[in-house]
């Protein structure tokens, strides 16, 4: 046992006063590192019982691999930090990533644009974690781990069969990523409408889906949804009451935008809404006591916005070239319990085209901190804004 406040405990090896405890189990103490090493053969069965599995990498621990815990970067926690492709002979393709689990960057380099996930890491962190095994529970905030409830499917000729088989191959899947193999192939047009009752995180990246159905019957637990380059003609149904974070890049205009209005009306627990070039409109309505961040960057068809979000911190309308209708901020909403106070929030309108009425709202509403001088590093966006406003 560890030393008490009254007197030190004896070293497990030599009996002298101990000054340090085993960093793994915290149940045995030693006077120095040499004694700890000398006692290891006896003590290791306490630290790592025979057949014990590492909590972090899920590998069986033995004498030969005690310090060989290696965790790949989780695909669903990678942000694209820029890529370059070479289609000629002898050229190399590179993919740069930022990992939200270890907060490190790395680069893959290969000879084929379809090698994004398999090309060797040539720069940066080769692993999300590399070190010693552990059988101690990890904090929930430590995402540097292998999970047995995460699935990654790459677009290919068998993608539809793989999707349809999910209820059998991984019935308790919690994290699902369906992505392109490196290039956008619009000849692969799968449907996603299978039962995944434990699914919490879903990413649909650069795949030409024909149909996506997410609702309480099929996917009742989804909290985090990311979609990128979903075809405009895709039949979308997103009715997720537990949804907390939503991100959609590159979509529209579509002949049927009803799905997003139904999604916003259903997702009453939404905290964060992120979008880039989400071409829907002419009006959007956000309502919820949990909303903290709304990013409508380059929502080029947005004309009017209605907002009930008493806890909002940030609203970005950057590059909204057609925001010349109305901007309504509600103090109450019949579907939500009233709050004692409403927070101030920053509104970014850099390169947005605003009607005089909207400008008056931005100037007069006491909750709004109006900013239109943020990151101005996109001259093309500024040019479009000037052209739209008639210079």
Residue 41 host element (H or E): helix 40-47
Over range 166-171, report the average pLDDT. Answer: 97
**Cα dist from 93 to 88, 96, 114, 237, whole Å:** 10, 10, 9, 36
Tell me whether strands 105-110 and 121-124 are parallel, antiparallel or unpaired: antiparallel
Mean pLDDT computed over every residue of the chain: 90
**Measured in whole angstroms, how far is the alpha carbon of residue 136 from the centre of its chain?**
26
Over range 318-324, report the average pLDDT. Answer: 95
Angle at 80 between CA 75 and CA 81, to 5 degrees: 135
Closest by CA position to 219, among listed 190, 204, 241: 241
C-alpha 60/C-alpha 25 separation (Å) is 17
Q: Quick one: pLDDT band at residue 388, thresholds 50, 70, 90? A: low
Is the pLDDT at 164 greater than 50? The verdict is yes
Angle at 86 between CA 83 and CA 88, to 5 degrees: 175
Q: Quick one: pLDDT band at residue 189, thresholds 50, 70, 90? A: very high
Q: Which pLDDT does position 140 carry in this prediction?
A: 93
Give the whole-number percent of the chain exceeding pLDDT 70.
92
Is the pLDDT at 1 greater than 70? The verdict is no
Report the helix count and the strand count for the chain, using DSSP H and E. Answer: 7, 24
Q: Do 346 and 365 contact (CB within 8 A), yes or no?
A: no
Over range 156-172, report the average pLDDT. Answer: 97
- Map out the domains of the chain with their CATH numbers: 1-47 (no CATH), 73-126 (no CATH), 150-388 (3.80.10)
Q: Which pLDDT does position 20 carry in this prediction?
A: 80
Is the pLDDT at 355 greater than 50? The verdict is yes
C-alpha 132/C-alpha 142 separation (Å) is 15
Task: Say what the pTM is.
Answer: 0.84
Q: Do 357 and 381 contact (CB within 8 A), yes or no?
A: no
Residue 99 host element (H or E): strand 93-99
Tell me whether strands 327-329 and 304-308 are parallel, antiparallel or unpaired: parallel
DSSP notation for 191-235: EE----TT--EEEEES---SEEEE-TTT-TT--EEEEES--TT-E
C-alpha 161/C-alpha 352 separation (Å) is 44
- Strands of 191-192's sheet in order across: 191-192, 211-214, 235-238
Least confident of 83-92, 266-275, 311-320: 83-92
Phi-psi region of 45 (alpha: psi -120 to 50; beta: other; left: phi over 0): alpha
Is the pLDDT at 230 greater than 90? The verdict is yes
pLDDT (tens digit per residue) in 79-106:
988 888 766 555 678 999 999 999 999 9
Q: Quick one: pLDDT band at residue 382, thresholds 50, 70, 90? A: low
Is the pLDDT at 249 greater than 80? The verdict is yes
Q: Which pLDDT does position 2 carry in this prediction?
A: 46
Is the pLDDT at 391 greater than 60? The verdict is no
Is the pLDDT at 166 greater than 70? The verdict is yes
C-alpha 321/C-alpha 253 separation (Å) is 15
Which residues are registered as beta bridge partners of 249? 228, 276
């Amino acid at each position: 046992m560890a030393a008490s406040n009254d007197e030190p405990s004896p070293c497990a090896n030599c009996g002298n006063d101990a000054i340090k405890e085993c960093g793994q189990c915290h149940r045995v103490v030693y006077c120095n590192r040499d004694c700890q090493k000398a006692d290891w053969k006896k003590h290791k069965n306490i630290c790592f019982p025979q057949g014990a599995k590492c909590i972090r990498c899920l590998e069986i621990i033995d004498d030969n691999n005690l310090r060989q815990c290696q965790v790949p970067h989780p695909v669903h926690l990678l942000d694209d930090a820029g890529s370059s492709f070479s289609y000629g002979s002898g050229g190399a393709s590179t993919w740069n990533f930022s990992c939200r689990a270890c907060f490190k960057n790395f680069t893959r380099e290969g000879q084929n644009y379809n090698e994004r996930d398999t090309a060797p890491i040539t720069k940066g962190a080769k692993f999300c974690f590399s070190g010693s095994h552990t059988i101690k529970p990890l904090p929930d905030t430590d995402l540097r781990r292998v999970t047995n409830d995460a699935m990654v499917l790459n677009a290919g000729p068998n993608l539809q069969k793989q999707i349809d088989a999910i209820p059998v191959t991984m019935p308790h899947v919690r994290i699902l990523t369906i992505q392109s193999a490196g290039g956008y192939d619009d000849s692969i047009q799968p449907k996603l409408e299978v039962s995944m009752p434990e699914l919490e995180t879903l990413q649909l990246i650069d795949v030409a889906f024909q149909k996506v159905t997410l609702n309480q019957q099929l996917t009742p637990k989804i909290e985090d949804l990311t979609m990128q380059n979903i075809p405009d003609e895709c039949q979308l149904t997103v009715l997720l009451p537990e949804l907390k974070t939503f991100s959609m890049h590159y979509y529209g205009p579509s002949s049927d935008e009803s799905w997003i209005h139904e999604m916003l009306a259903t997702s009453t627990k939404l905290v964060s809404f992120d979008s880039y070039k989400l071409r829907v409109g002419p009006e959007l309505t956000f309502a919820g006591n949990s909303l903290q961040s709304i990013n409508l960057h380059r929502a080029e068809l947005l004309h009017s916005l209605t907002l009930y979000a008493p806890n909002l911190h940030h609203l970005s309308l950057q590059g909204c070239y057609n925001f010349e209708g109305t901007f309504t901020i509600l103090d109450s909403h019949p579907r939500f319990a009233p709050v004692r106070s409403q927070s101030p929030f920053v509104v970014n309108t850099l390169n947005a085209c605003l009607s005089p009425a909207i400008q008056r709202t931005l100037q007069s509403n006491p909750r709004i901190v109006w900013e239109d001088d943020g990151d101005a590093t996109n001259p093309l966006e500024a040019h479009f804004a000037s052209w739209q406003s008639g210079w």
